[in-house]
Amino acid sequence: MPLDNEHLLHEDSIDPPKGFFERHPGTPNIPGGWDEYLKLYNQSIENPAKFFGEKAKEFLSWATPFTDARYPPGNGFQNGDSAAWFLNGELNASYNCVDRHALKNPDKPAIIYEADEPNQGRTVTYGELLKDVCRIAQVLTDLGVKKGDTVAVYLPMVPEAITTLLAIVRIGAIHSVVFAGFSAGSLRDRILDADSRIVITSDESLRGGKIIETKKIVDEALKSCPDVRNVLVFKRTGTPHLPWVEGRDLWWHEEIIKHVPYSPPVNVRSEDTSFLLYTSGSTGKPKGIQHSTAGYLLGALLTTKYVFDVQGDDILFTAGDVGWITGHSYVVYGPLLNGATTVVFEGTPAYPDYSRYWDIVDKHKVTQFYVAPTALRLLKRAGSKYVQNHDLSSIRVLGSVGEPIAAEVWEWYNEYVGRGKAHICDTYWQTETGSHIIAPIAGVSKTKPGSASFPFFGIDPVILDATTGEELKGNNVEGVLAIRNPWPSMARTVWKDYNRFLDTYLRPYEGYYFTGDGAARDQEGFYWVLGRVDDVVNVSGHRLSTAEIESALIEHNLVGESAVVGFPDELTGSAVAAFVSLKKDVDNPAEVKKELILTVRKEIGPFAAPKLIILVSDLPKTRSGKIMRRILRKVLAGEEDSLGDISTLSNPSIVEEIISTVKRDA
């Protein structure tokens, strides 16, 4: 639906801060402010092919121009399918991120690397990045990687992670990054599912002063991946105790010097796949979310340009990992497509102390800072003294991502970090959306603490009644969030499973993309994302599937059944609680609980570890055997008065036992 001011009253919202303009080096990318946003937004909704066609021509470099900006022409999801974009066009992602800037301005910094230890970083210029990307592209070609092949990446946050991604897409191959906090088992599953034959990793990683034995995890995973031919290893720590498989393992530094500093990019078609990124859904099996090339690039480029108002000389610091979509879109692609400088930070916000982010901002004069609320909660709790003694006057935009930001955390961010002079942009989006879909435009949109505000160009959000699927029109409505039309950077499919893609996103509510989130539109038209309505828990901004954790727990030989639910946590947003019934009585339940936590750490990764394990003799089930997680959630929240009718359970008496166990243990 087009937006108009009549429905957007903005009475109790906050204007873009004046300080944003005082700190601005020139003119914002949407100089006409709110009226221009409305005009552009309405154009993007009324004629997406025209709107995005023009933007794609203006901002992307094409080897072969596209003929049709959108197929099928028109609007909306037609016949239950999504749309394809920029047909018959050809381009290369690494050319768009690197070559075109390097050719003009080779000495401009592309990457500022902040190593785990302060003062051990370095800067990589666009010219240097181009050479490294070209050399690694040739290494990969030598290893037999061809257009359309997938390459698995398991790397820490070092500049070589960016080089790797861009080298892969330079030869038309597909990157499949696995967050380096995932366990060997999770890495193995993703390598097998994506059918990757090459893995790129490091000897070890450093985070918060701790060493992680990255290559050993890869070796463990590869025990069950017979098709992996080679492992390219970047030397990060130079540990002398590195296991090595002769013939399979190759050193990055030895391979890279074999090649010349330039190799031409391999052009791909717009809709060719640029990457897979696995994410959790309602079932135990992670989905390989598959993204296009041109549409994805355009989404990352435009949102970085407009939401964050990135200008050519800006320095963007996204404190997220390249193993998640935030790292893909706003550490790598968005900043580089815009020719800006991106900060690659290897460490944690608490090392060497809680002022690390602010040290980095001051040291490099960061203009846009972007992080998940979970880090802000930690820093707020640590005390404002860590931020107060910093200048921070370079910052114009403060972004938030991954989970709802509570009003008091928003206010803290605004007051202590932004000093009232930065625009706070709470960006709502998902792995599947590729780039921001609901977010304030810096310097343009009014904001309210906790609301992601208004849709980005080309996004037509709707609130639906969860049960009937009926659209809830007007303001002051609450339901599930869906999008009425396809947009260029949305995922194209689940790797090798289009049917699952349709089942998850396009079939639940016909004619819409279903986000899986609950949301409200308030009396002034602002959107408020209320959290997942499916079995997904958001822990510290990491998306976890309860079913996946349940499958991990069952690997322990004592576990009979388990049910995993999320519960509110002050620091991590949500935390994981696992209700477990054991196959037999045990003498030492505390020990078993520890083992269960270890099992999840080992099967998935440390970040998925349950905060609470509750041993019970049975789980509440319907007569058909379905576990009633809703009851478990209510018991954990102390809402046992509102459990509803439990007499229809096959085992109603278990509820009393669960309530008293939770009271005792939780």
Residue with smaller CB distance to ligand PRX, 94 or 427: 427
Residues with Cβ within 8 Å of residue 58, at least 6 apart in sequence? none
Residue 310 Cβ vs ligand PRX, minimum distance, rounded to whole Å: 18
656 CB-contact burial (10 Å; exposed 0-12 / middle 13-18 / buried 19+): exposed
What residues does 517 pair with on adjacent strands? 532
CA distance linking residue 168 with residue 170, whole number of Å: 5
Residue with Cβ nearer ligand PRX (151 or 539): 539
Binding of ligand PRX by 426 (CB under 6 A): yes
**Segment contacting ligand PRX by CB under 6 A, of 59-67, 259-267, 406-414, 513-521:** 513-521
CA distance 605 to 578: 16
Among 306, 357, 369, 428, which residue interacts with ligand PRX (rule: CB under 6 A)?
Answer: 428
Select 354 or 512, whichever has its Cβ closest to ligand PRX: 512
Taking CB under 6 A as the rule, which mask of x and - marks residues 467-506 in contact with ligand PRX? Answer: ----------------------------------------
- Taking the complex as a whole, the smallest distance from the CB of residue 425 to ligand PRX amounts, in Å, to 9
Identity of the residue, 364 or 436, whose beta carbon is nearer to ligand PRX in the bound complex: 436
Candidate segments 41-49, 301-309, 429-437, 499-507, binder of ligand PRX by CB under 6 A: 429-437
Smallest distance, Å, CB 492 to ligand PRX? 16
Q: 250 or 575, CB closer to ligand PRX? A: 575
* Closest approach of ligand PRX to the CB of residue 401, in Å: 5
Which CB sits closer to ligand PRX, 429 or 501?
429
Tell me which stretch binds ligand PRX (CB under 6 A): 206-214, 526-534, 579-587, 618-626.
Answer: 526-534
Please, which residue, 23 or 532, has the CB nearer to ligand PRX? 532
Shortest gap between Cβ of 419 and ligand PRX (angstroms)? 22
Nearer to ligand PRX (CB atom), residue 111 or residue 452: 452
Strand 477-483 with 513-521, pairing = antiparallel
Q: What is the CA radius of gyration of the chain?
A: 24
517 belongs to the binding site for ligand PRX (CB under 6 A): yes
Residue 538 binding ligand PRX, by CB under 6 A? yes
Least spacing, CB of residue 449 vs ligand PRX, in Å: 12
- Residues 176 and 278: their CA atoms lie apart, in Å, by 8
Rule CB under 6 A: say whether 401 interacts with ligand PRX. yes
Residue with smaller CB distance to ligand PRX, 355 or 504: 504
Q: Is there binding between residue 452 and ligand PRX (CB under 6 A)? A: yes
Which residues are bridge partners to 27 per DSSP?
Answer: none
Question: Smaller CB distance to ligand PRX: residue 183 or 515?
Answer: 515
Residue 609 in 3-state DSSP? coil
* Minimum separation from the CB atom of position 470 to ligand PRX (A): 22
d(CA 633, CA 233): 44
Q: Which is nearer to ligand PRX, 197 or 423 (CB)?
A: 423
Dist CA 427 CA 306 (whole Å): 12
- Torsion sign, CA atoms 87, 89, 94, 96: negative
Report in angstroms how near the CB of residue 481 gets to ligand PRX at its nearest: 9
Of 185 and 286, nearer to ligand PRX (C-beta) is: 286
| Separation CA 560–CA 442 (nearest Å) | 52
State the number of binding residues for ligand PRX (CB under 6 A).
22
Is 114 a binder of ligand PRX (CB under 6 A)?
A: no
Query: SS3 for 206?
Result: strand
Residues 430-449 close enough to bind ligand PRX by CB under 6 A: 430-431
User: How far apart (Å, rounded) are the C-alpha atoms in residues 124 and 106?
Assistant: 10
β-bridge partners, 146: none
**Of residues 579, 586, 659, the one with CA closest to residue 611:** 579
Q: CA 171, 175, 181, 182 torsion: positive or negative? A: negative
For position 326 contacting ligand PRX by CB under 6 A, the verdict is yes
Q: Is 516 in the site for ligand PRX (CB under 6 A)?
A: yes
Strands, E, within 215-334: which ranges?
230-234, 249-251, 268-269, 275-279, 287-291, 315-318
Q: Is the dihedral of CA 235, 237, 238, 243 positive or negative?
A: negative
- The total number of residues written for the chain in this structure: 666
- Which is closer to ligand PRX, CB of 423 or CB of 593? 423
Query: Which residue number, 184 or 371, has a Cβ lying nearer to ligand PRX?
Result: 371
- Single residue of 403, 534, 548, 603 touching ligand PRX by CB under 6 A: 403
| Closest separation in Å from C-beta 540 to ligand PRX | 11
Nearest distance in Å: CB 452, ligand PRX: 5
CA distances from 662 to 550, 632, 655 (A): 19, 10, 11
Of the residues 357, 429, 512, 579, which one makes contact with ligand PRX according to CB under 6 A? 429
The total of other beta-carbon atoms located within 10 Å of residue 498's CB is: 14
* Residue 279 binding ligand PRX, by CB under 6 A: yes
Q: Which stretch binds ligand PRX (CB under 6 A): 115-123, 182-190, 200-208, 514-522?
A: 514-522
What is the 3-state secondary structure of 332-366?
HHHHHHCCCEEEEECCCCCCCCCCHHHHHHHHHCC
- Mapped onto helix, strand or coil, the DSSP state of residue 539 is strand
Element (H, E) at 100: helix 100-104
**Which window, 162-170, 261-269, 425-433, 565-573, contacts ligand PRX (CB under 6 A)?**
425-433
Cβ of residue 335: shortest distance to ligand PRX, in angstroms?
A: 16
Q: Distance (Å, rounded) from C-alpha 662 to C-alpha 510?
A: 41
State which of residues 176, 290, 368, 427 lies at the interface with ligand PRX (CB under 6 A): 427
Q: Contact with ligand PRX (CB under 6 A): which of 17, 172, 402, 479?
A: 402
Closest CA to 486 of 516, 508, 506: 506
Q: What are phi and psi of 552, to 5 degrees?
A: -70, -45
Q: How far apart are CA 196 and CA 154, in angstroms?
A: 12
d(CA 115, CA 485) in angstroms, rounded, equals 42
Give Cα separations from 627 to 547, 575, 577 (angstroms): 12, 20, 15
Name the segment binding ligand PRX (CB under 6 A); options: 237-245, 308-316, 391-399, 529-537.
Answer: 529-537
Place of tokens 């404190």: 319
The residues that touch ligand PRX, with contacts defined as CB under 6 A, are 279, 325-326, 401-404, 426-431, 452, 515-517, 529, 531-532, 538, 543
